[in-house]
Amino acid sequence: MVLEARKGVPATTAFEVAEAFQLQANELEAIYELSTKTLRNYSQEKKPLSPASSEKTLKIIALYNLGVEVFGEAAAFLRWLDKPAHGLDGEVPLKLLETTGGIDLVTEELQRIAHGDLS
């Protein structure tokens, strides 16, 4: 993942993430710390995301795949993602996707759920 992130993933991938997660523009901007206009320009210019944004994107894609696997369908995962989670001290998982550490916390919570540990 690190090597792929260093090369940079296409900026269009950010919009694919937004579509999969049904993100509003402000949520997408918070995750990438870039305006949608800048992301659109990068996409049109076929410019890759920075290594840090690329790593975040790859982690979010892996998180999505795990969430769908754990909940059995995207809709159920997305509902869970938008509600306070007991195992995350009442934080809304979606709000934690703004940092790679937050993505890791949400991933760990999904792994606990997958193994039946709902604490």
pLDDT at residue 57 greater than cutoff 70: yes
* Contact in structure between 103 and 57 (CB atoms under 8 Å): no
What does pLDDT average to over the chain? 94
Residue 105's H or E segment, with its range, is helix 100-114
Q: What is the pLDDT of residue 4?
A: 80
Name the residue ranges covered by the structural domains of the chain. 2-114
Residue 99 CB neighbours (<10 A): 11
Exposed / middle / buried, residue 12 (Cβ in 10 Å: 0-12, 13-18, 19+):
middle
Residue pair 106/87 in contact by the 8 Å Cβ criterion: no
What pLDDT is recorded for position 34?
95
In which band, very low, low, confident or very high, does the pLDDT at 118 lie, cut at 50, 70 and 90? low
Three-state SS across 25-92? Answer: HHHHHHHHCCCHHHHHHHHHCCCECCHHHHHHHHHHHHHHHHHHHHHCCHHHHHHHHCCCEHHHCCEC
